[in-house]
Amino acid sequence: MVAPPPIRTDDNAFANHTMRVRVPGIIRDTIRLNPDLQPEALDRLHLLAVEIENDAPLPMLQYPAPDAADWLAAWRARDGDTWQNTDWFFAETYFYRHLIEIVDWFRLGRDPYYPKKREEYESTALWGTVRRTLDIRESDLSPEDKLIALLQSALWGNSIDLSYARAASHGASRRTDDLVIDETAHLVNHLAVAPEPGQIDVLLDNTGTELMLDLILVDALLDGWASNIILHAKQHPTFVSDATPGDVLEAFLLLRERGGREGMLGDRLSAAYQAGMLEIRPDWFWNSSHFLWKKHDLQELFGASSVVISKGDANFRRMVGDALWEPTTPFNRVLRYFPAPMAVLRTLKSDPIIGLRGDQAEVLSGIDPDWRHSGQRGMLVFDS
């Protein structure tokens, strides 16, 4: 089916607010957290914030890098657009690509968001959430009920997004009725009836609290539900807290250093990684502005997967073309291009939505006009 056009920064209030207010705020917060950057880099970051606020034309990238030709082609396709008058998904990903160029990540490997990530890892809230989730992992629940609970914990962990304080304010747990779609049991049944455990792929989103809960889920999945698991990570830091391979490996280390139950979890994950049962696979594509159906090797990557678990809002936007579909459009119509069963674990932080029932969207809008992007509600969808 033909996808609707992607959301633009000039025709969607939330997209426009993101570029006009939230993104410049992210830049200035990055400056505050990295005072030791070179003066030229700090000046360029200040200028980028001002240009985005004032709706300047989209600038061309300058630094040579492995993905430079792809970004140049995407920029030329939008020649003449401005930050607040272009495709929103492109604008956001292009902004983050500019920031990573300005801080010289390609040469120095410096993560400009690391101070913010580290602050979260040092919080009592994160480790309290980890302990409560480990309680589920080690409980006497049936394997099926335990997996259902851990999947939903991983979903709500997606609330803790360092680029979006409103979503993070809701915390990493929620009431059941905050799930606008709940197909968790269908996903677990799909895994339970498989003749034997197969490969599971996870499209990662945020590091920190979300990644820790994802790793507890991964640990449980490796206990009889999956033959092996591949974690698909961002090639470079983006969207502030999105997980890179370095973030995943640091999470293993932090768990081991913590000792106790957390240390045992870290040991199990590290052993699975060393044995090849757990793989971390970065890809430039997850940092790009392309929608998922543009990835040329989908069949090669995911064709043999028993299920692909997609975490978070940006991955969902990439999956559905960042478009305003009719809310009742079935998932299997939109995802017919995808070669494997797909599970979406997403806290709602933007307007795209599909798979709802009847007048569900209208009812939710009557209760909460911001329900699509406030981060309070979530969805766990399974498309076999």
Torsions phi, psi of 265, nearest 5? -60, -45
Among 108, 132, 154, where does a domain finish?
108
- CATH code for the domain in which residue 148 is found: 3.40.50.10880
Neighbours of 90 (CB within 10 A): 23
Alpha helices in the chain (DSSP H): 13-17, 23-33, 39-53, 68-76, 88-102, 105-108, 114-121, 124-137, 143-157, 165-168, 184-192, 209-221, 245-258, 260-275, 298-302, 313-319, 331-334, 360-367
283-336 pLDDT, tens per residue? 999 999 999 999 999 999 999 999 999 999 999 999 999 999 999 999 999 999
pLDDT of residue 164: 54
Among 108, 123, 148, where does a domain finish?
108
pLDDT over threshold 90, residue 163: no
pLDDT over threshold 70, residue 174: no
* Distance in angstroms (rounded) separating the CA atoms of residues 285 and 289: 8
* Distance in angstroms (rounded) separating the CA atoms of residues 336 and 3: 12
Residue 325 in any domain: the answer is yes
**Region of 273 on the Ramachandran plot (φ > 0 left; ψ -120 to 50 alpha; else beta):** alpha
Strand partners, 229: 200, 278
pLDDT of residue 252: 98
Interaxial angle between packed helices 143-157 and 184-192, expressed in degrees from 0 to 180 and rounded to the nearest 10: 130
Report how far apart, in Å, the C-alpha atoms of 327 and of each of 52, 291, 340, 362 are: 31, 19, 23, 10
Residue 296 in any domain: the answer is yes
pLDDT over threshold 80, residue 1: no
The dihedral over CA atoms of 338, 151, 207, 244, expressed in degrees to the nearest 10, equals -30
Domain co-membership, 165 together with 223: yes
The C-alpha angle 81, 206, 352, rounded to 5 degrees, equals 50
* Distance in angstroms (rounded) separating the CA atoms of residues 328 and 72: 36
pLDDT over threshold 60, residue 150: yes
Report, as an integer, the average pLDDT of 105-110. Answer: 94
CB 280 within 8 Å of CB 273: yes
pLDDT over threshold 90, residue 167: no
253-281 pLDDT, tens per residue? 999 999 999 999 999 999 999 999 999 99
- CATH code for the domain in which residue 30 is found: 1.20.930.60
Question: Residue length, the chain?
Answer: 384
pLDDT exceeding 90 applies to what percent of the chain?
Answer: 92
Domain co-membership, 72 together with 141: no
Q: pLDDT grade, residue 171 (50/70/90)?
A: low
CB 375 within 8 Å of CB 161: yes
Domain co-membership, 164 together with 308: yes
pLDDT over threshold 90, residue 176: no
What is the span of the domain harbouring residue 23?
13-108
Strand partners, 240: none
Domain co-membership, 159 together with 76: no
pLDDT over threshold 80, residue 30: yes
Domain co-membership, 102 together with 121: no
CB 8 within 8 Å of CB 88: yes
CB 48 within 8 Å of CB 88: no
pLDDT over threshold 60, residue 154: yes
Torsions phi, psi of 295, nearest 5? -75, 120
Report, as an integer, the average pLDDT of 112-133. Answer: 95
pLDDT of residue 62: 86
Among 83, 108, 133, where does a domain finish?
108
The total number of structural domains that make up the chain: 2
Q: pLDDT grade, residue 227 (50/70/90)?
A: very high
